[in-house]
Structure 1
Amino acid sequence: MSAEAPSRPNGLNYGLDDIPKPFPKALGLGLQHVLTMFGATIAVPFILSPFLEFDGGQLAILISSVFICSAVATFLQVQFGSRLPIVQGVSFAFLGPFIGLASTYQGVDAMRYIAGGIMAGAVVEMIVGFGGIGGLLRRYVTPITIAPVIALIGLSLFDAATFNSSLNWWVALSTLGVIFVYSLILAPRVRMFSLFPILLAVLTVYAVLLVMSLAGAIPEDSAAFVSFGAVGTTPWIRGLVPGEGGIFLPWGSPLLPPLGFIFAILAAYLASTIESFGDYHAVSRIAGAGDPDARTINRGIGFEGVGCFFTGLLGGFSSTSYSENIGLVGLTKVASRFVVLLGAGFLLVFGLVAKVGAVIASIPTPIVGGVYLALFGLIAAVGLSNLRRADLDSQRNLMIVGFLLFMGLVVPNYFNNYVGEDWSLFGIDLLTSIVQGIGSSGIAVAAILGLLLDNLIPGTDEERGVGVYDLGTKAPVIPPEDMRGM
């Protein structure tokens, strides 16, 4: 980041180096980050669990491991990596190859192959970052690629938002309504609501559902019912001894998957890296710190690889920067690194003290769906706001961006709904695996097509927005009223 950039520009409640006081306020802000990422963090374990054929106990270990992995990766990123207020969590870009491995190698064996694939890809990502390759991408990865990739992160999650909300629409919509009231109506008038809109909204709806559940107004089989049944059967502390149930290598020693799966995982790493590249710019711009320089990007990508490597040892899934939490930074105007580190501390506690996680897991899924409805659209808007760096009057840029957005939705839909299990590309298994791994991820599709089209089709640096990054000038800070309108 540029050294002359202020740590607390106008419009922010707390800048990069600020420590909110009193301390309970900082704790609340950190917890809000955890609540924002909570649904997405546990979503991947729940999605993969049927393919892994895990029982309830194994699923609990998997969720606990994911919390610990996210805590470690977030700490490394904020303290040593990009040093931006970025939360690291489970990446959806890897679902395709992980489902393939879970379908091929059942149960614990599948997790050993997943761990091996994660660690192999993490080494490549560390080479890209610490080798200085990530910073070189600054000239080739422009807003024309970054904007659609980040936007598709939000748009591609519509199914998760729909599923969580559809379990009980009135709860999801009530949560959404409370978030809008707290963040857009009360926040300008009451400071507390400007700092904790998501947390207060979740607690408000949760309290109402808890009272209704205790009063019998909500049946036990309803998705809106608040149940503490799992709390009593959950152990207090995770063990330290390696093996199932332990913190380290809970599924056994990692195994290297077949080459086709490795290429599919590397394709997911490419999408994840492009996503993080855009996230560094997005959160740095929101924080008013200017564009991240090459060194910041290299450190960020390198330590993201380190975090993923530890993920393989701790039994979770690949980590990446969480755009929904960047949306939260924009919504609350709290860009403090200290707050995000506190969030990492909460994640570590939830992973080690399993009962705490069990209590949080009692939050009904429709509430999480309502949070998704509020934030995923904001992610898309923040992504598209990167286009203000480029020439939006350029037919070239509009054509490429529109094509990337459309293909990022069409190609995954084709592979998920119209390509059968017997589909093959020229009868070459390796090529088939690579194409399927890329094609099933809209983020990967947009990243690859964006890199190709934006760098092959003639366009000036000013037109593409390259000059803004290379000159290291400050990005325009989104005024509070503009961000609230997203």
Structure 2
Amino acid sequence: MGENVDSRNNHAETNEVHLDLTRQELSSESNVLRERRTAKEEAKEILANMKGDIAFGITETPRWHTAILLGFQHYLTMFGATVAIPILLSDSLCIGKSDVVRSELIGTIFFVCGMATLLQVLFGVRLPIVQGGTYTFLTPTFALLALPQWQCPAKPGPELEAVLQNMTSSERTELWQVRMREIQGAIMVASCFQVLIGFTGVIGMLLRFIGPLAIAPTIALVGLSLFGVAAGFAGTHWGISSLTMVLIIAFSQYLKNINIPCLGWSKEKGCSAVLYPIFKLFPVILAILLSWLLCYILTITDAIPDDDSRYGYPGRTDTKRNVLEESDWFRLPYPVQWGIPTVSAAGVFGMLAGVLASLIESIGDYYACARLSGAPPPPTHAINRGIGMEGIGCILAGLWGTGNGTTSYSENIGAIGITKVGSRFVIVIGALIMMIFGMCGKFGALFVAIPDPVIGGVFSVMFGMITAVGISNLQFVDLNSSRNLFIVGFSFFMGLVIPNWLNANQGIISTGNQEVDQIITVLLSTSMFVGGLLGFILDNTIPGTQQERGLAQWRRMFGETADNDDEEHTQAVRHEVMKCYEFPFGNSIVHKWKSVTSYIPFCPTFIEFSCSCRKKKGGPENDDIDAVDGMYLHSVDTGDEKATQTPEQGDNLDAIEGHV
């Protein structure tokens, strides 16, 4: 009998052990289910907090009529800066003032910008960011065209016009197309470097050595080096150009907070008056239209002389009337429309300086765009894709023959902050509008007819802003440090001195090898390359602390934070938050093969290359969101799982145990 009792006791103990094990397994499974459910709920709450007062987030879609209006607004916002680029390039390409090809260049650049924007929004960084022409490519382009074999047969202006009149149509066409093909080849090959460092993930490592003291002179010297071009256009009639500057300053600075009543419609209110910040959104376009109207009045009243040898003649509105008459209503830009691009080592090396400046500026734009559109900061894989896709956009620009590349536009990011609409769908509509207007030849021809002094006023303000954007990077460094003051002053000064000396002494570089001579001449004639290189070398060789150099704040701005030992629950929340940066399709396959895709720098499962010895807990998905550790820690509980159980969760667990 005692044996039976012992047997029953042992059997009971065994059953109790099995019951405890079963309860633990079910408890574990319950915790997993609870974590998954809670992760989605917390991620939804975090995204709602980040969205704030944004009307439409990046994954939301406004109604079609609202999306069209907002997309057209983005087109108008980027219009002024983009239309200026082909006009600025025309003289160096030896294109006549009244040549229809100017309108074709304008149409081509808008068409390509539309394509690049579509690629960036759909497959690149996946933020609502607009791609437009880049001014960082202008300086190396002018340096390349200043080589003896690419100089115009006469000085741009009346002298060149006289030479062009004595040429046949085919000779005039070949004169500028051969130069355009050289620029195309240089841009395409140099942009392959941007594609490479983007899709291979090298950009993340490069940023560790490039700080504000290298970026500030690189970008600022783009604007400073173009002061002669702005002065040439503005000097054709200082009265009109000064009026254009005053109007832009008044609209963008003094009147920017004044909203104008406009007619609006909504389903709830119907037709009603809506206050709209017109001056803040469209200062350049408004200034161009008003100055253009004044030029028209002065033209029909003959207040501006009709003799091309007298001062002020370029201010007339009838000097380029034939461009509008001769241009086509519809023209589809196509690849290699100016001929097969040519490549030279001098052009490629020169363009690399523009590529580097453009991609670093774009990274800052990514974080600004994410912040204003209510999205989480972009993870590493999204930045890699964004930079790589910008490189593809530049290759397309070279293939189509815009004479320029593409980059992210800060102006349109500001428009998102004003309108509170961060929808990707709106940017897609805007990109389609760019492509449609790019195929309308008359539309491009209309803006070729803008009088030169009006363009000069716009250039004066724009180039000044580019300079200021570069200087603004110095906010991160300690300007009380004599080390930093020396680097800044020397880099800026030599960035102006060396190119100016080379332009005044053309042909002085003589190594015995023509290709080497051209490479050295183009590089040293590019002020942004000289200033940026000196800033980079001095900043990385002269001793200085991270705080003194501004690298600590600089890296925080780019999303780099200290390592954090987060729980798996936190990683699950982050993974849900970062889904907006995944591919538009095929993500299930990417996650299924994450053992392979975790080593692909542009995949959502990518594990960032790091020198840290700490093993990350969350698997491949963990690294996607390292950039936002600091942002989410206050919203996610990283303590013990048991402490996070709610009463309802405890009751559910008891019910499961009772069922067992």
TM-score by structure 2 length?
Answer: 0.61
Q: 1:69 aligns with which of 97, 112, 132?
A: 112
- Please tell me whether the aligned partners of residues 152 and 408 of structure 1 are also in contact (alpha carbons under 8 angstroms): yes
Give matches, 1:7-406, under 5 Å: 23-24=68-69, 26-49=71-94, 56-82=99-125, 83=127, 85-89=129-133, 91-95=137-141, 96-100=143-147, 102=150, 108-190=177-259, 191-220=277-306, 221=308, 222-227=313-318, 228-239=321-332, 247-255=334-342, 257=343, 261-281=344-364, 284-285=367-368, 288=371, 294-321=380-407, 326=410, 334=418, 344-406=431-493
Q: Percent identity?
A: 30
- Following superposition, the deviation at residue 402 of structure 1 comes to 1.3
Structure 1: 5+ residue stretches without partners: 240-245, 476-486
Whole-angstrom CA distance in 2 between matches of 1:87 and 1:130:
18
Whole-angstrom CA distance in 2 between matches of 1:378 and 1:235:
35
Alpha carbons of structure 1 residues 158 and 275: separation in structure 2 relative to 1, 3 Å: same
Whole-angstrom CA distance in 1 between matches of 2:461 and 2:194:
32
RMSD: 3.6
Whole-angstrom CA distance in 2 between matches of 1:137 and 1:291:
19
Alpha carbons of structure 1 residues 111 and 187: separation in structure 2 relative to 1, 3 Å: closer
After superposition, the C-alpha distances for 1:378-419 in whole angstroms (9 at most, x for unaligned) are 2222222221212222221111111111111111111111x2
- Please tell me whether the aligned partners of residues 77 and 281 of structure 2 are also in contact (alpha carbons under 8 angstroms): no
Alpha carbons of structure 1 residues 283 and 162: separation in structure 2 relative to 1, 3 Å: farther
Alpha carbons of structure 1 residues 218 and 26: separation in structure 2 relative to 1, 3 Å: farther
2:264 equivalent in structure 1 = none
- Following superposition, the deviation at residue 92 of structure 1 comes to 0.3
- Following superposition, the deviation at residue 125 of structure 1 comes to 2.3
- Please tell me whether the aligned partners of residues 238 and 354 of structure 1 are also in contact (alpha carbons under 8 angstroms): yes
SS at match of 1:48: coil
Alpha carbons of structure 1 residues 360 and 5: separation in structure 2 relative to 1, 3 Å: farther
Whole-angstrom CA distance in 2 between matches of 1:331 and 1:375:
17
Alpha carbons of structure 1 residues 382 and 78: separation in structure 2 relative to 1, 3 Å: farther
Give matches, 1:403-418, under 5 Å: 403-417=490-504
Alpha carbons of structure 1 residues 174 and 17: separation in structure 2 relative to 1, 3 Å: farther
TM-score by structure 1 length?
Answer: 0.81
User: May I ask how many residue pairs the two structures share in their alignment?
Assistant: 456
Alpha carbons of structure 1 residues 206 and 153: separation in structure 2 relative to 1, 3 Å: same
- Please tell me whether the aligned partners of residues 135 and 295 of structure 1 are also in contact (alpha carbons under 8 angstroms): no
- Please tell me whether the aligned partners of residues 272 and 320 of structure 1 are also in contact (alpha carbons under 8 angstroms): no
Alpha carbons of structure 1 residues 283 and 394: separation in structure 2 relative to 1, 3 Å: farther
SS at match of 1:139: coil
**Aligned AA (2:396):** F
- Please tell me whether the aligned partners of residues 331 and 440 of structure 2 are also in contact (alpha carbons under 8 angstroms): yes
**Aligned AA (1:97):** L
- Please tell me whether the aligned partners of residues 173 and 370 of structure 1 are also in contact (alpha carbons under 8 angstroms): yes
Larger Rg: 2
After superposition, the C-alpha distances for 1:219-238 in whole angstroms (9 at most, x for unaligned) are 44522222343211111222
2:545 equivalent in structure 1 = 460
- Please tell me whether the aligned partners of residues 110 and 435 of structure 2 are also in contact (alpha carbons under 8 angstroms): yes
Whole-angstrom CA distance in 1 between matches of 2:475 and 2:329:
50
Structure 2: 5+ residue stretches without partners: 1-45, 153-173, 260-276, 561-660
Alpha carbons of structure 1 residues 406 and 84: separation in structure 2 relative to 1, 3 Å: farther
**Aligned AA (2:314):** A
Whole-angstrom CA distance in 2 between matches of 1:168 and 1:14:
45
After superposition, the C-alpha distances for 1:107-158 in whole angstroms (9 at most, x for unaligned) are 5445444433333222232112211112211111111111222211222221
2:18 equivalent in structure 1 = none
1:420 equivalent in structure 2 = 506
Whole-angstrom CA distance in 1 between matches of 2:139 and 2:221:
11
SS at match of 2:133: strand
Whole-angstrom CA distance in 1 between matches of 2:255 and 2:56:
19
Whole-angstrom CA distance in 2 between matches of 1:283 and 1:408:
28
Whole-angstrom CA distance in 2 between matches of 1:399 and 1:14:
47
- Please tell me whether the aligned partners of residues 214 and 532 of structure 2 are also in contact (alpha carbons under 8 angstroms): yes
After superposition, the C-alpha distances for 1:423-472 in whole angstroms (9 at most, x for unaligned) are 23432333322211111111111222222111122222222222234445
1:484 equivalent in structure 2 = none
**Aligned AA (1:203):** L
Higher deviation after alignment, 292-301 or 119-128? 292-301
- Following superposition, the deviation at residue 319 of structure 1 comes to 0.3
Whole-angstrom CA distance in 2 between matches of 1:412 and 1:109:
25
- Following superposition, the deviation at residue 161 of structure 1 comes to 1.6
Whole-angstrom CA distance in 2 between matches of 1:151 and 1:432:
27
| Larger RCO (alpha carbons 8 Å, 6+ apart) | 1
